[in-house]
Structure formats: C-alpha cells, structure tokens
Amino acid sequence: MKTVVMTGATSGLGAVTARLIAADPEMRLLAGTRGKQVRGAETEQLDLARLASVREFAQKILERLGDTKIDVLLLNAGTNLRGDQRSTEDGYEVVFATNHLAHYLLLRLLAPQLSPTATIVITTSDTHDPKINRIAPPQHAYADLLASPPEDGGRRQGPVSFRAYASSKLCNLLTARAFARLNEGGQVQVVAYNPGFTPDTQLNRGTSRAIRIAMRVLVPLARRFAHINTAEEAGRTLADLALGSARPPEGRLYASLVRGKLTWPDPSRLAQSDDAMTSLWRESALLVGLKSVAEGTVE
Ligand SMILES: NC(=O)c1ccc[n+]([C@@H]2O[C@H](COP(=O)([O-])OP(=O)(O)OC[C@H]3O[C@@H](n4cnc5c(N)ncnc54)[C@H](OP(=O)(O)O)[C@@H]3O)[C@@H](O)[C@H]2O)c1
C-alpha cells in the first residue's frame, strides 16, 4: 500500500489525478480540501490561504498516519485570483501566500514523514518563464516583496495580478529545486510540473466575465489549429509522475506538458539561480514562522 498526500484534488487536473490514484486499490489517498469530499480519499480541511489551517492540516495528517510514511506528496493546488490581490489574515498577498508560502510550509512540516524513496511533485507553470510569458513575467523571487508588494498606484488588475501568479509559480519551481538540493545523494525524487495551458479547469474563475466569454469562444477555435492540453491529459500526466510511470531523466527536475507530451526543458534563467533559490528558502521560513532555518539550509 502506498500513501499519497495531495492538495488541489477537488477540481481541474488535480481531480483527474485524484480519481486515478483513488481507483488503484494499492493506493491510500489523503487530500486537503476546503470542505469538499474526494471520492475514494480521506479528506481533511485545508485552506491554503491561512497558515494556521496549513499547520492544523499537517498535524491531522501526521495523526492519521502514525508510523506510516508518505510515499507521494502532490502539492498541486493553485489560485489565480486576478484583480483580487487582498492580503490574507497572515498579512501576505493572497496568491503568493496560497500558491507558494502554504505549500512551502506544508512541505517543511511533512518532510520528516516522507519515505526515503518518496516522490514530491509541485505544480508550477510555464508562466514563470519570460520566454513564454511576455505579458507579465516574474521580475524577482524576493519573498518579502512578493508577500507585501509595494502599492502600484492602486492598480490591482491585469498584468499586476498576472505577475503575482507567475511569480508564485516561479517560487514553486525554486522550492522544488531547493528541496531536491537538500536531498541530494538520496533517493527522494522531486519534480516541478508544468501542465501547460489547460483551459478546461476552474483556474480562471476569478477573471473578468469578458475574458471568460472570450476564452469560451476562442479556445474551441484554437483547438482546430493547435493542440491544447486538456485537464484529463494534464491530470493523467501528474498521476504518471506521482506513481512513477513517468520519471525524470538524470539531472532533470522541470517537467512540462507540451501539446500532450511530457518534456524536460530547462526552466527560466531566474528559476536556475542558486541565489534566488537559497534566499527564497530562507525568507519563506521566516515568513511562515519556522524557528529553525538551519534544518532547511540549502547552501
Ligand atoms: N490550467 C492551466 O492552464 C494551468 C497551467 C499551468 C499551471 N497550472 C497549475 O495547475 C494547478 C491546478 O490548477 P487547475 O488548472 O486544475 O485549476 P482549478 O481547477 O482551479 O483547481 C485548483 C485546485 O486548487 C484548490 N485550491 C485553490 N485555492 C485553495 C485554497 N485556498 N485552499 C485549498 N485548496 C485550494 C482548488 O480547490 P477548490 O475546489 O476548493 O476551489 C482546486 O482543487 C495549479 O497549481 C495551477 O497553478 C494550471
């Protein structure tokens, strides 16, 4: 029996992954959700926008597991709350807090429970890469600034919020690299997974009505000329990575689903920066209130 702990199992590509994992009698699936049930899984309450909820969730999971180790940890949940860059109760920008800080804390809290051969997949996005995202790519990965962005003339829409999303996904990638670095020489496998543009999920529920209507018209048209990933494909690929039927080639960590095919490209230049990786790991520890950064030193 393998034990899988997962976020983002209730919707979009993660719901597909959860369905496939739960259907396997050799798998025990534990999912963190905002109250929804996941068929075939044990669920615990988790609101990633609240660090207190992340701590409670981790505690509940550890209690449920007892001596059982985690074989697979899937940090897949994500939000793209455009135009709604409010602060969380912890005082941090909500997209950064939900997508990065919460998953960083969860990884740190569950790390001691991981099996020595565990697989960790963190869902990132190719929007982290300026070669792909020319509209509003990340400019840096300074956790303090992303957590409390300077006022931008009151603008909270369009590129400003898209940049916040893309930056949080850069942080997911850097966190994956940092955790892989910490476990170098061991058998833990870390993957940062980009499902690519997958419009048939709920990710853009926070966008304006005009954009949602435009997408409903344009995406089916675009499908006639180019392959656009579906939630089914993206979720199956995440399940393949989780369960080991797809494995990273030696020395690779960034997996990208391009036109339905799994590829292993280089991430952006900033995502490859060791300085950015190290300072993000350390600053994030302080932001989530972890007393010891030493345990998580990645130099
Ligand atoms: N779709 C794309 O084009 C695309 C491209 C690149 C990367 N991604 C990434 O793929 C991942 C999955 O996204 P998706 O496209 O499948 O979107 P989705 O359908 O909106 O699914 C997002 C999942 O995250 C959960 N979630 C969001 N905020 C949460 C919170 N505060 N606490 C707990 N759970 C929360 C949602 O739970 P609820 O059901 O409660 O809302 C849902 O299960 C995300 O990390 C996203 O950034 C997506």
CATH of the domain at 15: 3.40.50.720
Q: What is the pLDDT of residue 299?
A: 45
**Counting atoms of ligand 1 from 1, which one is nearest the CA of 165?**
47
Q: What are the residues whose beta carbons fall under 8 Å from the beta carbon of 197, sequence distance 6 or more?
A: 228, 229
Residue 128 · residue 169 · CB < 8 Å: yes
Q: What is the pLDDT of residue 60?
A: 98
State if residue 229 touches ligand 1 by the CB under 6 angstroms criterion: no
Enclosing domain of residue 72? 2-296
Length of the chain: 299
**Counting atoms of ligand 1 from 1, which one is nearest the CA of 197?**
3
Nearest residue (by CA) to ligand 1, atom 45, is 78
State if residue 198 touches ligand 1 by the CB under 6 angstroms criterion: yes
Output the CA 8–ligand 1 centroid distance in Å: 6
State if residue 248 touches ligand 1 by the CB under 6 angstroms criterion: no
State if residue 131 touches ligand 1 by the CB under 6 angstroms criterion: no
Output the CA 147–ligand 1 centroid distance in Å: 20
**Counting atoms of ligand 1 from 1, which one is nearest the CA of 13?**
16
State if residue 77 touches ligand 1 by the CB under 6 angstroms criterion: yes
Give me the tens of pLDDT residue by residue for the chain, a chain 299 residues long. 999 999 999 999 999 999 999 999 999 999 999 999 999 999 999 999 999 999 999 999 999 999 999 999 999 999 987 655 578 999 999 999 999 999 999 999 999 999 999 999 999 999 999 999 999 999 999 999 999 987 654 455 567 788 999 999 999 999 999 999 999 999 999 999 999 999 999 998 877 788 788 888 888 888 888 889 999 999 999 999 999 999 999 999 999 999 999 999 999 999 999 999 999 999 999 999 997 665 555 54
Output the CA 121–ligand 1 centroid distance in Å: 14
What's the number of domains the chain is made of?
1
Output the CA 214–ligand 1 centroid distance in Å: 21
